[in-house]
Structures are given as structure tokens and as C-alpha cells.
Structure 1
Amino acid sequence: MSVPLYQAKAEFFRVSGHPVRIRVRELLRDGPLPVRESLAATEVESSALSRRPAVPRRSGVVSSRRDGSTVGYALAGGDVAELRRAARRVLAERVAGRHGLLDASREAEPAKVAAR
């Protein structure tokens, strides 16, 4: 039985949306990284961190590679990195828009006070 595309998209974003998973993907933007090197940056326990990439790995967001006892993760491709960059642009625009509204509100406030 095939899954509708909208459900597949929802699942993709659901498994990608955990804050620790997002932080791990940010750390991977510069290339593959062993799990032990990302522990300090994410400030989570070793067992919790090693579980976090498993779900995105199954979803095709990250890939893993074992070298002896070391497991390293990397972004699964250019599209995943582009999606991360697109999300950053969207959020930056939202923040800029909010700051613009706040600035406009502040500029309008003195005029109201002076009019009284």
C-alpha cells in the first residue's frame, strides 16, 4: 500500500523536527562528524545522542559510517543541506518581519503620546 505524498512529507518533517536532531544537522553542515565530537556541542548524554540520528538515518536525512568503534554521521546529500539553508532563510525573514513591525509600532507610539 502506498502512502500519500502529504503523509510522507509530514513524517519526514516530524522525524526531522526534534531540537537535538536539528542541532546535529547543523553540526554536520561542514562535513561528517563522529558522534563523540558532537556530544559537547549538543549537551546530551551519549546514549541519547546515539539514538537521535537513527530516525533521520532511516528517513534518509543523514547517513552513517562506522570506522572501527567510531560511528560518524553526515548529511545525506545536497538537498538536505539546501533544505536546512531554506529553513534558515524563512526564519530569518520572519524575524526581520517581526522586527520591522516592532520598529513601526515603536515609531507610531510617540505620535500617539504627543497627540494626547
Structure 2
Amino acid sequence: MSTPLYQLKAEFFKTLGHPARIRVLELLSEREHAVAEMLPKVGVEPAHLSQQLAVLRRANLVASRKEGSTVHYSLTSPHISELLGVAREILSGVLAGQAELLVGLQADRSEAEPPPA
């Protein structure tokens, strides 16, 4: 019995559901990075970054290659960058809508309040 596609999608999005993992994927969307390069940009302890990279590797979202003692990571598919771009567009639209709502609420409040004496 195979796993339904919606369940696989849910697992995929769970894998993406950590800020450090999203930050790693954003960095790798730009170019390949060594682990040491990512550490200050992700802002987590080395052990924590290793854990997050292992999760991404198990999900086949990133690939690693070793050059001497340095491990470099890259995305396994350009579609990951596209997905992050679409997420940015969605969030921009949501936040713009919330900003408009806030402006409307503030205008309603100022109209409802009596002028200061």
C-alpha cells in the first residue's frame, strides 16, 4: 500500500518547518556553501547546524561533497529555490493585506475617538 500524495506533501512541509533549515536553503539557493560559511549566517551552534543539515540530506533536499576536511552543501534541485520564492510572494501578499487592514483599523479608531479637550 503506497502513501497518499497529500501525506507525502505534509511530511515534506514538516521538513521545511524549521527556521534554521529555511535559512540554510535560502543560502544554498544563492550558491554552494561550506558548513563554516553557513554557521554565522544561520546563527546556530555547529552541532545544531549539523543536525539540520542531516535532516535536509535525509529528505534529499541538499547534497554534500567533501573537499579535504571541508564539507560543501548544495541544493539537489532548483525547484527548491523556486518554492522559497513563491513562499516569499505569498507572505508579501499576506503582509500587505495585513498592513492595509491595520491602516483601516487605525483610521476607524481615530474617527470613533472624540477629539482631545
The Cα shift of 1:60 comes to: 2.1
Q: Does 1:84 align with 2:91?
A: no
Gapped regions of structure 1 (runs ≥ 5): none
Aligned residue number for residue 14 of structure 1: 14
Greater alpha carbon shift after TM alignment, 57-66 vs 11-20 = 57-66
Counterpart of 1:52 in 2: which secondary structure?
helix
Partner of 1:70: 70
Distance 2:16 2:27 in 1: 14
Whole-Å separation in 1 of the counterparts to 2:51 and 2:72: 13
Q: State the Cα distance separating 1:72 from its structure 2 match.
A: 1.0
- Identical-residue share of aligned pairs (%): 43
For residues 70 and 42 of structure 1, what CA distance do their matches in structure 2 show?
18
| Runs of 5+ consecutive residues of structure 2 not aligned to the other structure | none
Q: Is the 8 A contact 2:35 2:73 kept in 1?
A: yes
Q: CA deviation at 1:110?
A: 2.1
Q: Are positions 1:30 and 2:30 aligned together? A: yes
What residue identity is the alignment partner of 2:5?
L
Query: In structure 2, what is the Cα distance between the partners aligned to 1:14 and 1:98?
Result: 25
Q: What residue is the counterpart of 2:100 in the other structure?
A: 100
CA distance in 2, matches of 1:63, 1:92: 30
Superimposed CA distance per residue, residues 67-99 of structure 1 (whole angstroms, 9 cap, x where no aligned partner): 121111112212111000011111111111110
In structure 2, what is the equivalent of residue 109 of structure 1? Answer: 109
**C-alpha deviation, 1:12, in angstroms:** 0.6
What is aligned with 2:44? 44
